[in-house]
A and B are shown apart, each in its own frame.
Chain A
Amino acid sequence: MFHSMNAFSYIRNWFAALGRVFRRELRHIIKDPGVLLFFIALPLAYPVVYTLIYNPEVVRKLPVAVVDESMTAASRDFVRKASASPSIEIYAYCPNMADARALMAEGKVFGIMQIPASYAKKLGNGEQAHVEFYAEMSLLLRYRTLVAALTDLQIEMISEITGEKIQMAGLQSLAGDASAPVKSESNFLGDTEQGFASFVIPGIVILILQQSMILGITLLGGTSRERRRRNGGIDPQEVPNVPVSATIWGKALCYTVFYIPMTVYILRFIPEMFNLPHYGNPVDYYLFIFPLLLATAFLGLTLNYFMKQRESAFIIIVFTSVVFLFLSGLTWPRYAMSALWTWAGNCVPAVWGVEGFIRINSNAAALSEVAHEYTALWLLTAAYMLTALLATSLLRKQN
């Protein structure tokens, strides 16, 4: 019916066909509890679960063992200052290193502070005194927290003792604050609390949008493939006699529209509910995310080529979440990746989505400032539209 017609009626028929595909696909989604699980339950629940996992944000009160071989007022003063840090909690005083190492092996302490016998003497003689700190390295986050606390502690000790020394040396005539002639001030942009949830959630939610949508689409694709096998190569529930282009546009628009409420919930309400960084302009991030949804829909339709049955989605798609998480640069920055993985990441809509959304959401960038990512998302939409076209045509020819 699509041959031998003039252009206008072709276009009208094309849109009518698209509408039929859209409505039919919507019915498929609503009638399939498996798809609803992916399209609704997963985007609803996962962001909450992830935020709850990381919501304590920072690591505090890390247990530390003290081996004080100096046993002097000066060494006790040092330990007192260390225990004042919110990151450090003195778990035990050990008579020797062996005992402290045993505590560490049991996982009771994550650091050992050893104050040598010469500590007070050296300090009194005006020599440089050393304190040794052994850190357990099973988690870098813990180590980093301890290092930050120790650096602050060292700076505190220096400004106190150096000030005294300069006075004692009769150098108080020195102009200004001699122990600190230059001040420094650190400022954190974006995630000002340096919290774990604040940094990880804005990125992860974009991955959740992409992966849940692909899982749902491939579940639908695998199910249709099973129906087709049972019915001699034709899926009785597909809209018949529709051009491939109308089929993929109808389906892709259906998924995208279905995802609008989920997207609002994830991009807008999740950061508000959990008090995460949320500085972006809603218009900017909604406009930004639209091509991500569309590109993802077409990517899912392309992947349907590989879905021989309903359960294929679980085995082929689920593990890719881990790979995509790393390609997105959330854990391991993209500038440190080799050309191969940078290129592989460039093909994943969520990789651009994570980068752009984080900057809009956490750094208050405007849409124009993420123009590069935005363009990339539209290019991916075009590319995956073509691959979806190809994959769907090939699938039809197989019958």
Chain B
Amino acid sequence: MNSFFSGIRREIHRMCSRKMYIFGMVIVPIFTVVFFLDLLSPGLPEHVPTAVVDLDHSTMSRSVTRSLRALQLLDICKDAESYDQALDQVRAGETFGFFVIPANFEKDALGGNTPTLEYYTNMTYFVPGTLSFKGFKTVAVATAGGVVQQTLVSMGVDPQNVASIIQPVVIDQFPLNNPWMNYSYYLTPSFSMATLALMIMLMTVFSITMEIKDGTSPSWLATNGGSMLQAIVTKLLPQTVVFMAVSLFMLWLMFGFSAFPMNGSLFWLIVATFLLVTASQGFAVFVCSVVPNPRLSFSLCALFGILSFSFTGFSFPVQSMYGGLAVFSWLAPIRYWFLIYINEGLDGVGLYYSRFYFVALILFPFVACVLLKRLRKACLNPVYVP
């Protein structure tokens, strides 16, 4: 027991003697969550810069332009005289799309010649592209409906029945639990916690492999009575405490200060977050045991940590990925945390549906113990390969 506390004391001393620890364990994770909260605070990037090309200049075309201007989604910031000019504006990055009202639009629409409203969206930027597409489509469909309505009423159809003729079927959409389509509710928790997981892995690798690099690993083991397991526990426990405190603060910033939706239990999300800390540490210990060399273990954890932002499916669903890649998503602790967050925070469906994710997070540290013998060997005969 004595050696346990001297192990802890040794590690706290090491942690306090390097500024790198504070930077990696506290500053980076907290900066990341503040960055995402502030950057994404509008929730939805409305007011997409767009243009209108009005080739008709009639009452009706002006009314279409007015409807476009009235949409909150769009910011009609440019007037273009022609298709070519509007396309140039897109190429120059001034707009993300444009809406073309053809010449003789009013005359053709009322005369039954079926004119075509065209709209162009620049899909190279996904979010502004889809938002302007949505705005354009709404106005195009509403314009068509308005013309039918005008024609029917002028032909003597009871205005009260017009709605059921124009729109006989309406599909009411209920976006459950996030009717505001707030992007931040997805991106901020997932990306800031994924950054935390990345930093936990890197700092764990840092603290273990620096012992090997500096040749202090034999004395590290000796302080802990020669037990690799105890050496790992005493080394990582002080970091675990710091990371858990940091993660609690991050959760408070999101679910307290910024009032993110919490439809389930905050308690279980906190438990999941603590398990994410130990699971990420376990992952890094496993990597260090496989390749007890700073360059390779750092590279592996950095590679995996950065790729996990993509293959854990925060933005593109794992179900739609190629099977071989989807497998990797289940190796990343952050994947389970993300699924628990969706269940607890957003959907509020209860612990039962997250049971396997919790089990998976609990397993990581135990898997890490499997190869400790190998790590012990490397620590007893430290060889530094740059």
> Which residues of A line the B interface, CB within 8 A?
32-34, 37, 49-50, 52-56, 58-60, 78, 105-107, 123, 126-144, 147, 150-151, 153-155, 157-158, 161-162, 165-166, 169, 171, 174-192, 194, 196, 198-200, 202, 223, 277, 308, 310-312, 314-316, 318-319, 321-323, 326, 329-333, 335-338, 340-341, 355, 358-359, 362-365, 369-370, 372
Contacts and interface: CB of A to CB of B under 8 A. Distances in A.
Contact of A316 (B23, B125, B152): B23
A182 B117 contact: yes
A315 B24 CA distance: 6
Contact of B315 (A139, A315, A335): A139
Contacts of A338: 38-39
B169 A131 contact: yes
B317 A182 contact: no
Contacts of A359: 91-93, 124
B353 interface: yes
B364 to A, nearest CB: 21
Contacts of B166: 158, 162
Contacts of A162: 148, 165-166, 168
B125 A333 contact: yes
A132 B116 contact: no
10 contacts: A56-B320, A128-B164, A135-B173, A137-B176, A138-B347, A147-B173, A176-B111, A178-B112, A184-B137, A196-B315
A187 B300 CA distance: 43
B313 A139 contact: yes
Contacts of A362: 124
B127 A331 contact: yes
Please indicate which of the listed interface residues B46, B136, B342 has the most CB atoms of chain A within 10 Å of its own CB.
Answer: B342
A387 to B, nearest CB: 20
Contacts of B111: 175-176
Contacts of A202: 124
Given A131-B171, A187-B120, A372-B93, 19 more contacts: A34-B386, A126-B161, A132-B171, A133-B173, A144-B130, A151-B137, A177-B114, A181-B112, A182-B109, A182-B117, A186-B118, A190-B122, A202-B124, A310-B294, A311-B298, A331-B127, A336-B45, A359-B92, A369-B91
Interface string B202-220: 1101100110010000000
A199 B294 contact: no
Give 9 closest A-B pairs by Cβ, nearest first. Answer: A175-B112, A176-B112, A184-B140, A190-B124, A336-B45, A191-B123, A105-B349, A161-B168, A365-B91
Contacts of B40: 332
B98 to A, nearest CB: 9
Contact of B147 (A161, A181, A330): A181
Contact of B316 (A54, A133, A337, A358): A54
A178 B198 CA distance: 59
A319 B123 contact: no
Nearest to B99: A184
Nearest to B311: A53
Nearest to B166: A162
Given A165-B165, A176-B112, A333 B171 contact: no
A55 B172 contact: no
B176 A323 contact: no
Interface string B1-30: 000000000000000000010011000100
B151 A181 contact: yes
B342 to A, nearest CB: 4
Interface string B119-152: 1111111111110010011001101100110011
A176 B115 CA distance: 11
B322 interface: yes
B191 A171 contact: no
A37 B181 CA distance: 40
B316 to A, nearest CB: 5
A323 B115 CA distance: 46
B118 A174 contact: no
Contacts of A182: 109, 114-117, 140, 143-144, 147
A199 B124 contact: yes
Contacts of B213: 311
